[in-house]
Amino acid sequence: MLTVQEQKKELRQQIKSAKKLYSENDLLIFSNEIFNKLESLNIFQYSSIILCYWSIAGEVFTHDFIKKWYQKKMILLPGIAGENLILKKFNGFDKLITGENFNILEPSGQAYTDWEKIDIAIIPGIAFDKNNNRLGRGKAFYDKLLTGLSAFRIGVCFKFQYFESIPINKHDIKMDMVIYD
């Protein structure tokens, strides 16, 4: 019998293999479908402060969504500070800098600390399930962040990342909703 950690590792490998079956253009089309669904939600339409993420290869693509909305709604993006995520306001593509740990682009500027004002948190993941559980990359960055947020948590993933159930630990934070293509 595999431990939860071994099951998670196995699932991460499975997803990595599944992603290779799709072109970058396929993933872009799927991403657009996901964000069209998200934008149709009442909670999105009435929100003013949104936590998102700057997508990297293989993740649900967020760049077009951010570009579309950052002048109408406040968009916050995470950056890594040690073992934690800090949030910063997105003020345009020319204000992005390369983060210290994983070379992921993040906004320059001051940390945003009014977390209770965040309406929606759009969260990436390796896999999600029908009970709104999330499997991340294994560093627990988002789990730590989400314990301090009262925002409505929306997990986003591709259909091949959505399962009946996934392995979880007690520290894994559930989403309020999961959207896939």
Q: Which domain holds residue 31?
A: 4-180
Confidence at 81, pLDDT banded by 50, 70, 90: confident
* DSSP bridge pairs for 49: 74
Residues 124-138: what's their mean pLDDT? 95
- How many domains does the chain contain in total? 1
- Pairing relationship of beta strands 177-180 and 96-98 according to DSSP bridges: unpaired
Residues 89-106: what's their mean pLDDT? 85
* DSSP bridge pairs for 156: 179
CATH of the domain at 94: 3.40.50.10420
Whether 103 shows a pLDDT value over 80: the answer reads no
In whole angstroms, give the CA distance from residue 110 to residue 132.
32
Asked if residues 174 and 132 have their Cβ atoms less than 8 Å apart, the reply is yes
pLDDT of residue 80: 85
Name the pTM for this structure: 0.94
pLDDT of residue 70: 97
